[in-house]
A and B are shown apart, each in its own frame.
With several copies, the nearest count.
Chain A
Amino acid sequence: MLSVEVAKLKLENPLMIASGVCDMTPDLLRRAHEEGAGAAVTKSIGIKPKKGYDNPTIVELPYGLINAMGLPNPGWEAFYEEFINEKFDFPIIVSIFGGDEKEFAFLAEKLSDVADAFELNLSCPHAKGYGMEIGQNPDMVYRVVRVVKDVTDKPVIAKLTPNIDNITKLGLAAERAGADAVSAINTLKAIAIDIYAKKPILSNKVGGYSGQGIKPIALRAVYDLAKALDIDIIGIGGITTWQDAVEFLMAGAKALQIGTAVSLRGFEVFGEINEGITRFLIDEGYNDVREIIGIALE
């Protein structure tokens, strides 16, 4: 009833654990699957080992989180060595990031044996972009997707930023370049200040906002993308309850990533959301989750 095919991957259910959330190790990815995730996205992997920013790296808000982890990751070699010896009975989507298209291509080539698909994390500052991120530039999105598609046969998912005037132009760029799917949205630019310290809380000062507070924005991005694109859309952004999940499916998402809610509600959140979707489908007279995907677009 819940199985879907997204970006050419067959999933038992539409839920994935999002990149950067409790996905440092094979054991954690397996736990997400055991608890009900249909697929898992790894922490974002780059060229070199990176320890990330100093603490504080997170701010807890009543309706979400702001984080600036600084892309901590073991680098592609250590990641490859650890994952090449592991077997998974569910799709592993390897998130990769780079400073330009060559780095993305390099990583995709090196990691193709340990990935069932790639998700491109385009949130790195663009080397020539005056502080802009690669993912904020449709041409760069096109080029990165293009070169990655050239070096790997694995499905490619472009993760899109909401920090843009119109996310569909990023989605269309990814589609033109041959992406198998887009995932939306990455975090929103945010900050929190401690009024007694009189300083930004994060060591990086600014960070990315995730969680319930961004759900209406993420849902809009998915809705707009679903209207404009033919390729699959994976919804991300504040999905916390099964009702949120159903909203995203109705807005046109074929699969969903859960991140912040894992912290708020534990790994059990996957099972709870799957159960809720199933109950909803039965109560409303549907036989298959695919019947509701995009139903609110008409």
Chain B
Amino acid sequence: MKRVELVEVWEEASGIKAFRFNEMLNFKPGQFIMAWLPGIGEKPFSLADNDLIVVKNVGPFTSRLFELKEGDYLWIRGPYGRGFEPKGKHIALVAGGIGIPPLYALAKHYREDFEKITLIYGARSKDEFATLDVEKYVDEIVFTTDDGSLGIKGFPTDVLAERKDEFEQVYTCGPEIMMAKVLEIMDFKNVQVSAERYMKCGIGVCGSCALGKYLVCKDGPVFYGEELKETELGKFKRLPDGRITTF
């Protein structure tokens, strides 16, 4: 557990803030940290950069996080987990909503490994895109919105379904239903998925984040499509108490 100071905090999109801290972590895109606010709680966040998390306000913890200003402290541990592996020349990043941070990190840190990066990024409406400076690291951006307020009206998977043959590898992060759709479109091949499950320890002890025979915190969060074929991804997940629940 390490205390870090917030050196930059800004609103990146509606209900989405970015927090930059004074510690350059040695990380692999796709890896996450656990962030602790003493007295409040501790949650996992994908790293968007060595020193950056991008957070959507979704509950009590993030509400308190959103109150923090530059100069305030955050406690972190990590980075943890398995990150993305750069593969393919022309690749697609398929992001849904707040699934963007690890894909941003991938584009920025592995830019040189690819010939062409196409970002397909969907959100509900135009003010919900946390694009940061992603345009510097990708060659093409296709926005989709549920309400048609920006880009194509529809889902990122609509775009992927149409253009899938262009891409040698697809990297995806976002709502599980979307990622399941990506896997279906790609027939589980040439896909790397950043999965999410309820996470307690973050280090492979408690097993809360079970996904098939894997632990999201240790074996993931990034999985190859093939690994997920036999798992419940897109079908069910577990509550914090371990009971099965559907989406």
Whether A and B touch directly in their complex, counting CB atoms under 8 A apart, is answered as yes
Q: Does B24 contact A (CB under 8 A)?
A: no
Assess the A20–B42 pair: CB atoms within 8 A: no
Taking A194-B1, A196-B73 as contacts, is the C-beta distance between A56 and B240 under 8 angstroms?
A: no
Assess the B75–A263 pair: CB atoms within 8 A: no
Which residues from chain B contact A69 at a C-beta distance below 8 Å? 200-201, 206
Assess the A58–B201 pair: CB atoms within 8 A: yes
Distance A57 CA – B202 CA, assembled complex (angstroms): 10
Q: Which of B200, B215, B240 contacts A58 (CB 8 A)?
A: B200
Q: Does B77 contact A (CB under 8 A)?
A: yes
Distance A194 CA – B36 CA, assembled complex (angstroms): 11
Q: What per-residue 1/0 map shows which CB atoms of B38-55 lie under 8 Å from chain A?
A: 110111000000000000
Which residues of chain A in 1-53 are interfacial with respect to chain B, using CB atoms and an 8 Å cutoff? 20-25, 27-28, 30-31, 43, 49-52
Q: Which of B3, B36, B212 contacts A56 (CB 8 A)?
A: B36
Please name the residue on chain B nearest to A260 by beta carbon. B205
Which residues from chain B contact A31 at a C-beta distance below 8 Å? 213
What's the nearest-Cβ distance from chain B to residue A235, in Å?
A: 19
Please list the residues of chain A having a beta carbon within 8 angstroms of any beta carbon in chain B: 20-25, 27-28, 30-31, 43, 49-52, 54-60, 65, 67, 69, 72-75, 78-79, 82, 194, 196-197, 199, 201, 203, 259-260, 262-263, 266
Task: Give the interface SS of chain B, mostly helix, strand, loop or mixed.
Answer: loop
Which residues from chain B contact A75 at a C-beta distance below 8 Å? 241, 243
Assess the A55–B42 pair: CB atoms within 8 A: yes
Taking A56-B36, A78-B242 as contacts, is the C-beta distance between A27 and B210 under 8 angstroms?
A: yes
Please name the residue on chain A nearest to B199 by beta carbon. A55
Assess the B38–A197 pair: CB atoms within 8 A: yes
Q: Which of A21, A55, A69, A73 has the most CB of B within 10 A?
A: A55
Distance A31 CA – B80 CA, assembled complex (angstroms): 21
Q: Which of B205, B213, B241 has the most CB of A within 10 A?
A: B205
Distance A52 CA – B240 CA, assembled complex (angstroms): 8
What's the nearest-Cβ distance from chain B to residue A46, in Å?
A: 10
Some 15 contacts from A to B, beta carbons below 8 A apart, are A20-B206, A21-B207, A22-B205, A23-B207, A24-B206, A24-B208, A43-B207, A56-B42, A58-B201, A58-B202, A75-B241, A78-B244, A197-B36, A260-B205, A263-B218
Q: Does B239 contact A (CB under 8 A)?
A: yes
User: Interface size on B (CB < 8 Å)?
Assistant: 33
Q: Does B238 contact A (CB under 8 A)?
A: yes
What's the nearest-Cβ distance from chain A to residue B122, in Å?
A: 30
Assess the A262–B204 pair: CB atoms within 8 A: yes
Which residues of chain B in 204-247 are interfacial with respect to chain A, using CB atoms and an 8 Å cutoff? 204-208, 210, 212-213, 215, 218, 238-244
Q: Does B203 contact A (CB under 8 A)?
A: yes
Assess the B42–A49 pair: CB atoms within 8 A: no
What's the nearest-Cβ distance from chain A to residue B211, in Å?
A: 9
What's the nearest-Cβ distance from chain A to residue B22, in Å?
A: 14
Assess the A74–B42 pair: CB atoms within 8 A: no
Please name the residue on chain B nearest to A59 by beta carbon. B1
Please name the residue on chain B nearest to A50 by beta carbon. B241
What's the nearest-Cβ distance from chain A to residue B35, in Å?
A: 10
What's the nearest-Cβ distance from chain A to residue B240, in Å?
A: 4
Assess the B204–A263 pair: CB atoms within 8 A: yes
Which residues of chain B in 164-210 are interfacial with respect to chain A, using CB atoms and an 8 Å cutoff? 200-208, 210
6 A-B pairs closest in CB distance:
A55-B42, A197-B38, A51-B240, A24-B207, A74-B242, A49-B241
Which residues from chain A contact B43 at a C-beta distance below 8 Å? 55
Distance A21 CA – B215 CA, assembled complex (angstroms): 11
Distance A82 CA – B244 CA, assembled complex (angstroms): 9
What's the nearest-Cβ distance from chain B to residue A58, in Å?
A: 4
Which residues of chain B in 10-42 are interfacial with respect to chain A, using CB atoms and an 8 Å cutoff? 34, 36, 38-39, 41-42
Assess the B75–A194 pair: CB atoms within 8 A: yes
Q: What per-residue 1/0 map shows which CB atoms of B111-145 lie under 8 Å from chain A?
A: 00000000000000000000000000000000000
Assess the B41–A55 pair: CB atoms within 8 A: yes
What's the nearest-Cβ distance from chain B to residue A167, in Å?
A: 24
Q: Which of A28, A60, A65, A72 contacts B200 (CB 8 A)?
A: A72
Assess the B241–A73 pair: CB atoms within 8 A: yes
Assess the A24–B242 pair: CB atoms within 8 A: yes
Which residues from chain B contact A194 at a C-beta distance below 8 Å? 1, 3, 38, 75
Please name the residue on chain A nearest to B238 by beta carbon. A24
Which residues from chain B contact A20 at a C-beta distance below 8 Å? 205-206
